[in-house]
Amino acid sequence: MKFWRSVVVKLALTIMLLVAFVLFILTILLLEFFENFHIQEAESDMLQTANKVSVLLSQQESQSLITETVERVKSPESRVAIIFEDESLWVSNSSNTSLTELQQAWLHQDEDMAAVLENNTDVRKQMDLPNSEIEVMLVGIPFEENGAIFVYQSLDVIEQTKAETTRIILLAAGIAIILTTFFAFFLSTRITSPLIKMREAAFDLTRGEFNTKVPILTHDEIGELALAFNRMGRQLKFHINALRQEKEQLSSIVNSMADGVITMNRNGDMIVTNGPADKFIDEWNFEHNLEPGETYRKLPSDLNDILQEVITSEKEVLHEMNIQGKDLVMLMTPLYDQSFVRGAVAVIRDMTEERRLDKFRKDFIANVSHELRTPISMLQGYSEAIVDDIAESKEDKNELAGIIYEESLRMNRLVNELLEIARMEAGHFELNINQVDIEPFVEKIHKKFSGLAGDNQITLSLSKELEVPEASFDPDRIEQVFTNLIDNAIRHTDKKGKVEIHVKNNVHEFHVDITDSGSGIPEEDIPFVFERFYKADKSRTRNKEKKGTGLGLAIAKNIMEAHNGTITVKSKLNEGTTFTFRLPKSEDI
């Protein structure tokens, strides 16, 4: 089928069919012309012979001389019949033995032949000889009063000449068609060769090979077309490169933005997203208990309602939301295809940090004052009791001195932790990086907290996925992170609850999830859990005897940042909390 769709074949067949049609019409006309020509020539020859005989009869009286002369002047295939004045009939010989002699009786049976004798008129006709199957051509002219001269011959002679002429015409037509076929394919190939090259070059352009050039073989319209094609290729390459550079520049700008960017069409399909936007969609799915596959590349339903509002009003819409304790502001703006709204672009900004800093500025002094006020008040009260001799016995004084000592230790611990955080944030913090065997390291931590978990009737489990047995980090600092997270999980989990430690180590990272089934963290508190002096609501503190300073998670965050790692939290109230920290492979630290 591809062969018949070829331009070469179509052009060649068109030329061949056109020439064949012209040759067919010309052949029919030529055959008709030559057939009439041969008949006219035969009639003319026979008429000329009859006239010669007529002249001879008028000049000679001897019948023997006349007949002898007639036998010589006539053509061998024909016969001459002479009716003399005495109405006697003489018929000449013929080399065609099947051509019978003209009979006297036939002259009166045929009206045309009888008219020659009776009306002195000429006759020219084609007829069948009586008692014979031979068709003849007959010419008759009158001679004097009762005489006539008839010349006739078989039409087979004319048919033979006609057949020979037809053979020559058909041979010439066949040669013409062969030559036409050859030149048609040659010409069509010559014409379409540059077009085929342009087609191949066009396919190369579709594959991105913009350096393809079509050779310019002629200076006609096809040559100009090839020249225009090469110019188009260069312009296309220039514009594609410009578009690619613009796209890369735009992609770099979008990906480097701290704000989330989502470009979507009218149907709510997300076309372009950057890292912060992907993270936002992840958190949205977690918040609404959706699997990632359920909404992959599809805008969540609540946000789709905002998109429809933008499409309907053709105005930008500002919307605030709270996801996993983060305060987010989304500005959605319509995108136009000329006057038609083809979609929208949403810019999502995380305002949590700004609001956190505002809250931190307000709460920092109050938190420090609160943490220091209790031990200072106790130190002051018990020291006054000693000075005023309220404690009379030595045992009472020793008891008061012990309380003062414990509160001073608590203040010292608080001040040391504040100093440690200050050193971390100031960059005066050194890590002792070593290759650590993961399995005994985490088993030791698990064993250390098993007793505390058992005392609180909490199940503490450890699961490991160790593709690589070792990792590079500061073991003391990472143990401190484990201690803070596991201790918090146990303290905030009810009896009969469970705490799960999941450790995964591969060639890319050291990954730890610590999940508890405790009371969870209120959504509005999640952004602040890693701040200094953050404490959960008192109703979530299950172990009243062990109170923290509110600095453990802040220290854990600084330790992870020093390792170029990350620590995150996901939590739902009354369902549980998951703390996750990741350390990159050693060469990335």
Please, which residues have CB within 8 angstroms of residue 383's CB and are 6 or more apart in sequence? 404
Strongest mean pLDDT among 210-214, 314-318, 546-550:
314-318
Q: Alpha-carbon distance 343 to 336, whole Å?
A: 7
Classify domain 9-161 at the CATH class level. alpha beta
Strongest mean pLDDT among 401-405, 417-421, 446-450:
446-450
Task: Give residue 371's pLDDT.
Answer: 63
Which carries the bigger pLDDT value, residue 114 or residue 538?
A: 114
Task: Give residue 294's pLDDT.
Answer: 47
Which ranges in the chain are annotated with CATH 1.10.287.130? Answer: 355-426
**Structure letter (DSSP) for residue 1:** -
From the number of C-beta atoms within 10 Å of its C-beta (0-12, 13-18, 19+), residue 482 rates as buried
Q: Alpha-carbon distance 411 to 237, whole Å?
A: 72
Which ranges in the chain are annotated with CATH 3.30.450.20? Answer: 9-161, 257-350
Q: Is the CB of residue 124 less than 8 Å from the CB of residue 53?
A: no
Q: Alpha-carbon distance 33 to 40, whole Å?
A: 10
Model confidence pLDDT, tens digit, residues 230-248: 888 888 888 888 888 888 8
Task: Give residue 296's pLDDT.
Answer: 57
Model confidence pLDDT, tens digit, residues 100-113: 777 777 777 777 77
Model confidence pLDDT, tens digit, residues 467-519: 899 999 888 889 888 988 998 889 888 888 999 999 999 988 999 999 999 88
Task: Give residue 579's pLDDT.
Answer: 93
CATH of 257-350, one of 3.40.50.300, 3.30.230.70, 3.50.50.60, 3.30.450.20: 3.30.450.20
Model confidence pLDDT, tens digit, residues 7-65: 667 777 777 888 888 888 888 888 888 878 878 888 888 888 888 888 887 777 777 78
Q: Nearest Cα to 518, choosing from 485, 553, 492? A: 492
* 3-class state of residue 256 by DSSP: helix
pTM: 0.37
**Residue 326 reports pLDDT greater than 70:** yes
- Written as one letter, the residue type at 311 is I
Q: Is the CB of residue 572 less than 8 Å from the CB of residue 520?
A: yes
Q: What is the DSSP string of 285-310?
A: HHHTT--GGGSTTB--HHHHHHHHHH
Which carries the bigger pLDDT value, residue 95 or residue 307?
A: 307
Q: Alpha-carbon distance 21 to 177, whole Å?
A: 10
Percent of the chain with pLDDT over 90: 7
Residue 4 tokens read as 């018949």
* 3-class state of residue 517 by DSSP: coil
From the number of C-beta atoms within 10 Å of its C-beta (0-12, 13-18, 19+), residue 455 rates as exposed
* 3-class state of residue 114 by DSSP: helix
Pairing mode of beta strands 89-91, 79-83: antiparallel
Which ranges in the chain are annotated with CATH 3.30.565.10? Answer: 434-588
- Written as one letter, the residue type at 570 is K
Strongest mean pLDDT among 178-192, 211-225, 319-333, 571-585:
571-585
Q: How many residues does the chain have?
A: 589
434-588 CATH = 3.30.565.10
Task: Give residue 65's pLDDT.
Answer: 80
Classify domain 355-426 at the CATH class level. mainly alpha
Q: What is the chain's mean pLDDT, rounded?
A: 79
Strongest mean pLDDT among 90-94, 193-197, 390-394, 502-506:
502-506
